[in-house]
Chains A and B, each alone.
Chain A
Amino acid sequence: MKEIVIISGKGGTGKTSIIAAFASLFENKVLCDADVDAADLHLIMEPDIKERHDFQSGRTALINRDKCVECGLCRDLCRWDAISEDFVVDSIECEGCGVCWYFCPEKAIESPLNTCGEWYLSDTRFGPMAHARLDIAEENSGKLVSLIRQEGKKLAEEKNMDLLLTDGPPGIGCPVIASLGGAAAVLIVSEPTVSGRHDMQRVAQLAAFFKIPAMLCVNKFDLNPDEGEAIEAFAKEKNIDVIGRVPFDPTFTKAMVQGKTIVEFDEHSKGCDAVKSIWKNLAQSLGILTN
Chain B
Amino acid sequence: MIISIASGKGGTGKTTVATNLAVSLGSDVQVLDCDVEEPNAHLFIQPVIEEVKTITTPVPEVDMDKCSLCGKCGEICQFKAIVVLGKTVLPFHELCHSCGGCMEVCPEKAITETDRELGIIEKGHRNGLEFVHGKLRIGEAMSPPLIKKVREYTRPDMLTIIDAPPGTSCPVIASMKDADFILLVTEPTPFGLHDLKLAVGAVNILGIPCGLVINRSDIGDDQVKQYAKEKDVPVLMEIPFDRRIAEVYSRGEMIVEAMPGWKESFLELYNSIEKIAE
Q: Which residues of A contact B (CB under 8 A)?
A: 9-13, 16, 37-38, 40, 43, 58-59, 77, 79, 92, 95-99, 102-103, 134, 136-139, 141-142, 169-178, 191-196, 198-199, 202-203, 205-206, 209-210, 223-224, 227, 250, 253, 256-257, 259
In angstroms, how far is the closest chain B Cβ from the Cβ of A68? 20
**How many residues does chain B have at the interface if contact means C-beta atoms less than 8 Å apart?**
58
Q: Which residues of B contact A (CB under 8 A)?
A: 8-12, 15, 37-38, 40, 43-44, 76-79, 97-101, 104-105, 136, 138-143, 165-173, 177, 189-191, 194-195, 198, 201-202, 205, 219-221, 243, 246-247, 249-252
- Which B residue's beta carbon lies closest to that of A139? B170
Select B173's contact among A137, A142, A177, A209, beta carbons within 8 Å.
A137
Asked whether, in the complex, the Cβ of B190 is within 8 Å of the Cβ of A43, the reply is yes
- Which B residue's beta carbon lies closest to that of A10? B38
- Which A residue's beta carbon lies closest to that of B174? A92
Q: A173-B171, A259-B190 are in contact. Are A11 and B247 (CB under 8 A)?
A: no
Asked whether, in the complex, the Cβ of B104 is within 8 Å of the Cβ of A103, the reply is yes
How far is A34 from B74 in the complex, measured between Cα atoms in Å?
30
Select A12's contact among B12, B37, B99, beta carbons within 8 Å.
B12
Residues of B within 8 A of A253 (CB): 189, 219-220
Q: A99-B99, A195-B40 are in contact. Are A136 and B202 (CB under 8 A)?
A: yes
- Which A residue's beta carbon lies closest to that of B12? A12
In angstroms, how far is the closest chain B Cβ from the Cβ of A127? 21
In angstroms, how far is the closest chain A Cβ from the Cβ of B79? 8
How far is A72 from B44 in the complex, measured between Cα atoms in Å?
47
How far is A142 from B195 in the complex, measured between Cα atoms in Å?
19
Residues of B within 8 A of A193 (CB): 249-252
How far is A206 from B99 in the complex, measured between Cα atoms in Å?
26
Residues of A within 8 A of B10 (CB): 10-12, 38, 170
Select A171's contact among B100, B166, B219, beta carbons within 8 Å.
B166
How far is A79 from B96 in the complex, measured between Cα atoms in Å?
13
Residues of A within 8 A of B251 (CB): 193-194, 224, 227
Asked whether, in the complex, the Cβ of B219 is within 8 Å of the Cβ of A98, the reply is no
- Which B residue's beta carbon lies closest to that of A134? B169
Q: A10-B11, A92-B173, A206-B139 are in contact. Are A194 and B167 (CB under 8 A)?
A: no
How far is A259 from B201 in the complex, measured between Cα atoms in Å?
24
How far is A43 from B189 in the complex, measured between Cα atoms in Å?
11
Q: A171-B37, A194-B252 are in contact. Are A37 and B168 (CB under 8 A)?
A: yes
How far is A53 from B44 in the complex, measured between Cα atoms in Å?
44
Select A99's contact among B104, B142, B246, beta carbons within 8 Å.
B104
How far is A13 from B191 in the complex, measured between Cα atoms in Å?
12
* A-B contacts besides A12-B11, A199-B40, A253-B189, 7 pairs, CB < 8 Å: A38-B167, A95-B97, A97-B101, A98-B78, A206-B139, A223-B246, A257-B189
